Structure 1
């Protein structure tokens, strides 16, 4: 008979993260949706919050662990240019599209629809961020396709709540997804230097494309919006996987990108060998056509980064609420309380600003002031919120100690994912220069921004002082080399104004920690216990 020894007792470790309703647990999100006009969709959002914080969170593990694979040829040497995914990925996509992450704005148009869809996107990113790429592009492409009568079927099926992963013509599908191909090796963000050539065919609007794309997003999609050089200049096209005659299009997937993160999503390099495409908009107006999508895709970058911050904070609060060190739970240790409270403040402000911009987008079609605010605030928020996501993810990972560096904790996934939105849809420099361009060339944007900030004056002394400094910066010509300094200041002011106007319980704590002249760039430097207690309670500790 063997004597049993207790050699592996697990104590002082948190239990599994478990399931959460990501809507019910997030006061900041619920309040922002209500404030921006999306309250009518609350039941729908609660349902998706439960799904995202439960089943989708577990499906995401398999979708990331088993990455997409390129099947360029079949066993007999025939080209098939197919991307194979783990079944969990398709289940995630199906759930997202069914619940409106890609199409709610267009299938239920009306007040608050864009706000509700923004909240769905925010919730989805916390569960499985990789699939947010095709969901975002599908959503953003719909209003562009709607402008072309010949492409109405594409627009309707992109907005439809049906997911069909089969590689077949859209005539056999109820719902479709869309990708994009803008970037080429020689140009990057400078799409006017694209070398892909478009040659007109006899039929109006039809072309053949010869060229390449260095980053071709979501190559398993049914169609792609691409830029190419037509006789009159850079032009936008819809390039489908299948030609109208039923044959596979001449789209050759050369390889899938081996990326730092975003593992569940496929990104690729491709070549077009006289691929058939249909023109969207006029020749030479391709950049202007694509810019119609930019407000939506950049908003989703901001929403995704804000959602990532929120998930990082959730996981940290779970960890420190159960783990002890030096005789106390981590959540009772003063310095840890300071650090995590600071992370909560950052997450709160990111959520508030992202939903504020979503509200402006929602009203932009019928409110010129909202349209002007959305124009400039999208670029400001995209720069700042996406830039801060990496800092928050790194600090949150450190708060969890060694387990935060282990894949099973999912903190490494958040850390790897965190830089993506700052790069995608125009990196930080592009955003900052776009802000300068808007403020200098479109006077209505400066008026809208100033009005938005002025409405928050008179409540907090730190905000008022920072506002005066920001307006002084805007009163003088801004050197492009100083663009980041200006846009950072404007982003902080927008966050502060949003919190103050909402009477957010953390607003004054946020202002003193971010807008005071001597504020610190490090997390964990809050000056008062009241700030720490208020933030932790708000975060769900």
Structure 2
């Protein structure tokens, strides 16, 4: 018996019915399964094909890359990638006792990822074991790691790129190259480490891309130099050494200097390297980028006095290639995630992948990804040690052309892939939100759009043979597609006056570079891709009705043939 609020007796209540163990709303259906434990190499048919047909890699590279594909596709690696972005690096300027230490603390997952990339030779294998196709094999490994976790690719790329300028100083090369070629990784700053990673510090607050405005100075000291100044961007500040531009104490202009974090000798004393703060970046969160100060910081000159820009340009060319590869890797992740989702989810009575509108978008995204992979392999081949004069001339122009266009296409490609997943694409539980933030850095790093487009014009003026080599590459595809032939002929006509007076065409440089990049990609796909891919790319990118939003492929496109490769 109970009493109600009025104080009168109320009838006893019936006991509540027993709740069911599981409610229907808790049953999850029409959601894709986790995309884990997938071999990212064997699942990437374009990469597997172009590695050998375009990149010239040996058959032995396949087994090594299959092992890498299994690693980066594992649930463990994906979870490490998630953690590395969820818990970004933290700056520790001082020890608890007040000593200046200038260290960056990373989540352990980041170090596991870097260690696996180094063990696979994604940093310097092409230098350590050179030969035809060595760069394509190294590029493929780099792309596989960057596909899942892009932030660590920064020190991996810079370590690869540092080799060429280091060779300008045989004594430094003898000391540092064996450590760069090592497959061992240890994160601490210490003397006597068998392995090493490199970074670089070029830009300053007042100059940015105009490095000749740098104010950092290097003065002679005891057979080397002491540097004083600042750097506005220094990526991966926990690297073991850096290539730095500074005004040469001889008063002859900028010099290039090797700055180690730990000074030579058994004592392991730290080189003054003051990390003032870490950048709060839109993306690239797992990788630290900082502002650093040099205060009588020891540095060793690389190259001739006052020729620092020339010395470091070899590093810049290599890292520009890695910007292309990193963007292509991101495109591959976007396509893989979008197609996986569409093949496992249904709407309006059919799987998403079978819906005509979605199929068009997915195929267009896959085309862009495949074209980026193809041109990345072609550039990689041109960087091999057997490259002759024509190949070196080709890569001088084609690397800049490709860096401009492929990296420009990255952010919108990532956004469109996010949209394929709907709301899930915008959620941090899925990797495409990270990818959307990541792609713009590839377009900004090593030269923004204007810087790169103007560099193309500069190459035309200073290296005219690079233009001849570029059009020789296009001619290799002539006669197979009338639309391509017409586009290439018009492009050659447009380039002719530019060669004579490049500076007069700065205002239209972007338009010209875009057309050059599209022609190069089309020429490669015509020669090496199946007709389904080549035909759709040519008509959609070179044709009169071309549209650079995704999902506008003509009805004549072979959608199953394109998506079958995705």
Do they fold alike, i.e. is TM over 0.5?
yes
Matched, 1:538 2:559: no
What is the deviation of 1:529? 5.2
Q: Over aligned residue pairs, what C-alpha RMSD do you find?
A: 1.2
1:491 corresponds to: 517
Report the TM-score, using the length of structure 1 for normalisation.
0.97
1:158-307 pair list within 5 angstroms: 158-169=180-191, 172-203=192-223, 206-230=224-248, 231-244=251-264, 246-307=268-329
What is the deviation of 1:142? 1.5
Write out per-residue CA displacement over residues 320-379 of structure 1, whole angstroms, 9 at most, x where no aligned residue.
11111111111111101111111111111111011111111115x541111111111100
2:77 corresponds to: 56
Contact 1:181/1:227, CA 8 A, preserved across alignment: yes
Distance in 1 separating the partners of 2:81 and 2:133: 29
Contact 2:535/2:557, CA 8 A, preserved across alignment: no
Distance in 1 separating the partners of 2:355 and 2:72: 31
Contact 2:132/2:381, CA 8 A, preserved across alignment: no
Distance in 2 separating the partners of 1:6 and 1:336: 30
- The residue matched to 2:244 in structure 1 has which SS? strand
1:131 corresponds to: 152
Distance in 1 separating the partners of 2:481 and 2:234: 47
1:16-415 pair list within 5 angstroms: 16-35=34-53, 36-40=55-59, 41-54=61-74, 55-151=76-172, 152-169=174-191, 172-203=192-223, 206-230=224-248, 231-244=251-264, 246-362=268-384, 365-415=386-436
Report the TM-score, using the length of structure 2 for normalisation.
0.92
Contact 1:235/1:283, CA 8 A, preserved across alignment: yes
Unaligned residue ranges in structure 1 (runs of 5+): none
1:524 corresponds to: 551
- The residue matched to 1:409 in structure 2 has which SS? coil
Write out per-residue CA displacement over residues 229-287 of structure 1, whole angstroms, 9 at most, x where no aligned residue.
11321000011112235321111000111111111100000111111111111110000
Distance in 2 separating the partners of 1:522 and 1:216: 35
Contact 1:225/1:237, CA 8 A, preserved across alignment: yes
Distance in 2 separating the partners of 1:7 and 1:33: 47
Distance in 2 separating the partners of 1:127 and 1:344: 17
What is the deviation of 1:8? 1.9
What is the deviation of 1:503? 4.4
- The residue matched to 2:24 in structure 1 has which SS? coil
Distance in 2 separating the partners of 1:139 and 1:133: 10
What is the deviation of 1:289? 0.3
What is the deviation of 1:149? 2.4
Distance in 2 separating the partners of 1:199 and 1:482: 42
Write out per-residue CA displacement over residues 271-330 of structure 1, whole angstroms, 9 at most, x where no aligned residue.
111111111111100000000112211110000000100110000001111111111111
Matched, 1:417 2:443: no
What is the deviation of 1:526? 1.1
Distance in 1 separating the partners of 2:234 and 2:547: 40
Bigger-Rg structure (1/2): 2
1:81–1:310: structure 2 CA closer, same or farther, 3 Å change rule? same
Moved more, 354-363 or 337-346: 354-363
Write out per-residue CA displacement over residues 396-416 of structure 1, whole angstroms, 9 at most, x where no aligned residue.
001110010000011100000
Distance in 2 separating the partners of 1:81 and 1:50: 36
- The residue matched to 2:92 in structure 1 has which SS? strand
What is the deviation of 1:525? 1.1
What is the deviation of 1:507? 0.6
Contact 1:143/1:155, CA 8 A, preserved across alignment: no
What is the deviation of 1:2? 2.3
Q: 2:539 aligns with which of 512, 528, 534?
A: 512
Aligned pair count? 534
Matched, 1:2 2:18: yes
Matched, 1:464 2:490: no
Distance in 1 separating the partners of 2:396 and 2:243: 22
Contact 1:526/1:532, CA 8 A, preserved across alignment: no
Unaligned residue ranges in structure 2 (runs of 5+): 1-16
- The residue matched to 2:416 in structure 1 has which SS? helix
Contact 2:214/2:246, CA 8 A, preserved across alignment: yes
1:474 corresponds to: 495
Distance in 1 separating the partners of 2:556 and 2:494: 34
